[in-house]
A and B are shown apart, each in its own frame.
Chain A
Amino acid sequence: MLLQQLINGLTLGSVYALIALGYTMVYGIIELINFAHGEIYMIGAYMGIVALAAAAALGLSEVSAALTLLGVFGAAMLYCGAYGVTMERVAYRPLRQAPRLSPLISALGMSIFLQNYVMLAQGARDKAFPALIGGGFEVGPARVTAIQLFIMATSLLLMFLLHTFVRRTRLGKAMRATAQDRRMAALVGINVDQIISVTFLIGSLLAGAAGVMVALYYGLVNFFIGYVAGIKAFTAAVLGGIGNIPGAMLGGLLLGLIESFGAGYISAEYKDVFAFAILVLVLIFRPAGLLGEQVPQRA
C-alpha cells in the first residue's frame, strides 16, 4: 500500500511539476498568474489525440510505436508552444503597462475562452485516448505500470533539460536576469519582450507534454481537465515558492504524494480537498513557499 501510493504519487506529482513550471516561470518574469496555463495543458491532450489519428492515417503507427510516440509528443508540444506565445502576444503584452489586475482578468478571460472554444470544436463529451504503452511489473506488493515509468522518466528528462537550459545557456541566464530585474535586463541589451515570449514558449511546451502524458495515463480527455489540473499545478507552484523553478519541481512532487497518500489512507473522495487545503495553509503560514527567496536583495 505504502509503496503503491508512493509510485502513484510520484507519477501524478511529476505531471503537476511540469505544469507548475509554466506558472512559476511566467510569474517569475512578469508577475502574472497565467490562469489560462491549465488550458494549454488541456489543448496538449487534445492535440495528442489529433496527432495520434494523423499518425495512424499516415501509417506511422504500424511502422514504429516509439516513433509514433515521439511524433505525438512533438506535435502536441509545438502546438501548445505556439498557443502560449500567441496568448502572450494577444492577451498580456498589450496590458504590460496596465495596472496589475488587468492582465489577471485577461488571463481568466483567456481561460474561459479556450475552454469554450475547445468544447465547441471538439464536443463536450469525454474523448478516449488510445493506450499506446501497455504492460508493467510487480515490485513486491505494488505494481508499476510501464506508463507510470514512462511519465516519471520523461518528466525527469524534461526537467533536467530545463534546468540545464536555465543554468548554462546564454538565453537561460538572460531569463534569470530578466526575472530578477526587468529594467536592468533591458539596460544590458536584453530584448525583454523576446525573453517573455521564450518563457511562455517553454512553459507551454512542458504543459503540452504533461497533457499528452495524463491523457495516456487516464485514457480520457475532455475540455474541462485543464481547470482542475491548472489549479493544482498552481498550488504546487505556490507550495514550492512561486517564481522559483526548483520550487515548482519540488512542490509538484510533494503535492502528488500528498494527494496520493491522502486518497489511499484517508479517502479517495477527498482527494482534491487535500490540494486546496495545502494551498490555504501555505498561503497563511508560509506565503513565500518552501523555497522562497534565498539571497538578500542587497548587501
Chain B
Amino acid sequence: MLRLEDVHTYYGNIHALRGVSLEVEEGEIVCLIGANGAGKSTTLMTISGVLRPARGRVLFGDEEIQEVRPDAIVARGICQVPEGRRIFPRLTVRENLEMGAFLRHDHRAVEAGLERVFTLFPVLRERVSQLGGTLSGGEQQMLAIARALMASPRLLLLDEPSLGLAPLMVQQIYAIIREINAAGTTIFLVEQNAHMALRVARRGYVMETGQVVLADRAPALLENEMVRKVYLGEV
C-alpha cells in the first residue's frame, strides 16, 4: 500500500533521512521505533508531503506521491496525527472535527463520521462546544485521532500517540488504535514507547540516525537483544 524507496530528506541543512526504505501493507499495523532525533517524524512528514525528499520515491498504491502537495495527499487517503497533537486551540471540538472532514463535501457522510468518532470517544461528545485548547492532554490526543478519522483515511499515520499521557490513558488510546485497525484502516505508527507499539503492531522497523537498521515481525523485535537493550530498557 505504502512504500518508501531510498528516501533522502533534508531538514534545513540536516541530512535527516539517509536512504529510508520501508513498506506498509493494506490492513497492517506497522510501527517505526527509534530514539529522539532518529528521523521518525521526518519520515511521516515526508510521507504527508510537508517535506520534499531530495532523492528517492514514496509510493502509495502504484502512484508516486513525493511531489504531491499535503492537501492532495490527504485527498488520496493518507492522514496524519502529528506529534504534539496540534489541536486548533481556538476552534471548538466540533470545529476541529469539521476541519478533519474539510475535503468531504457529502454533508450526511460527515454527520455519520461525527457519530462514529463520538462512539469511539464519548468524552468528545460532552466537550463538543468547548475550545480545543482547553482540553486535557489525553482528550486532545483523542480529538487529534478523531479529527484524522473524520477524513476516513485508508492509511493513518500516528506520531507518538502515547507521548506525555498517563499509563491508563496510553492503554485506552492503544485499545482504540486496535479498534480503528480492525475496522479496516491501515496504521503506520511512530513511537519511542517501543513496548506498547510492538505489542499492537504486526511488523516493526527500527531507525537510527536517519536509516532503518532493523526490520522484522513485531514479536521477533520484542525478543531481539539489541531492541531489548536499547529500546525496551532491559538488560
Asked if residues A299 and B151 are in contact (CB atoms below 8 Å), the reply is no
User: Given A296-B133, A299-B133, A299-B134 in contact, is the A189-B88 Cβ separation under 8 Å?
Assistant: no
User: Given A174-B102, A177-B99 in contact, is the A186-B71 Cβ separation under 8 Å?
Assistant: yes
The bracket for how many chain B residues form the interface is 20 to 34
Closest approach, in angstroms, between the C-beta of B89 and any C-beta of chain A? 5
Query: Is A170 at the interface (CB under 8 A from chain B)?
Result: yes
Query: Is A62 at the interface (CB under 8 A from chain B)?
Result: no
CA distance A170 to B103 in the complex (A): 10
User: Given A296-B133, A299-B137 in contact, is the A191-B88 Cβ separation under 8 Å?
Assistant: no
Query: Is A70 at the interface (CB under 8 A from chain B)?
Result: no
Count chain A CB atoms within 10 A of each CB in B70, B90, B99, B134 and give the residue with the most: B99
User: Given A176-B90, A296-B89 in contact, is the A188-B48 Cβ separation under 8 Å?
Assistant: no
* Chain B residues with CB under 8 A of A296: 89, 133-134
Query: Is A298 at the interface (CB under 8 A from chain B)?
Result: yes
CA distance A287 to B139 in the complex (A): 32
* Chain B residues with CB under 8 A of A190: 71, 99, 102
CA distance A179 to B98 in the complex (A): 16
Query: Is B180 at the interface (CB under 8 A from chain A)?
Result: no
Closest residue on chain B to residue A293 by CB atoms: B90
CA distance A170 to B70 in the complex (A): 19
Asked if residues B50 and A173 are in contact (CB atoms below 8 Å), the reply is no
Query: Is B140 at the interface (CB under 8 A from chain A)?
Result: yes
CA distance A174 to B98 in the complex (A): 9
Asked if residues A184 and B86 are in contact (CB atoms below 8 Å), the reply is yes
Which residues, 126 to 179 on B, are CB-close (under 8 Å) to A?
A: 131, 133-137, 139-140, 147-148, 151
* Chain B residues with CB under 8 A of A192: 71
User: Given A173-B99, A188-B99 in contact, is the A181-B74 Cβ separation under 8 Å?
Assistant: no
Closest residue on chain A to residue B136 by CB atoms: A299
Count chain B CB atoms within 10 A of each CB in A170, A184, A296 and give the residue with the most: A184
Contact of A299 among B50, B99, B102, B135 (CB under 8 A): B135
Closest residue on chain B to residue A174 by CB atoms: B102
Closest approach, in angstroms, between the C-beta of A295 and any C-beta of chain B? 5
CA distance A297 to B90 in the complex (A): 8
User: Given A176-B91, A181-B88 in contact, is the A191-B99 Cβ separation under 8 Å?
Assistant: no
Asked if residues A191 and B71 are in contact (CB atoms below 8 Å), the reply is yes
Asked if residues A170 and B98 are in contact (CB atoms below 8 Å), the reply is yes
* Chain A residues with CB under 8 A of B148: 188
B residues neighboring A (CB under 8 Å): 48, 50, 69-71, 74-75, 79-80, 82, 86, 88-91, 95, 98-100, 102-103, 131, 133-137, 139-140, 147-148, 151
Ranked nearest first, the 9 interchain pairs of A and B with the lowest CB-CB distance are: A189-B74, A186-B70, A184-B86, A189-B103, A295-B133, A191-B71, A180-B88, A189-B71, A189-B102
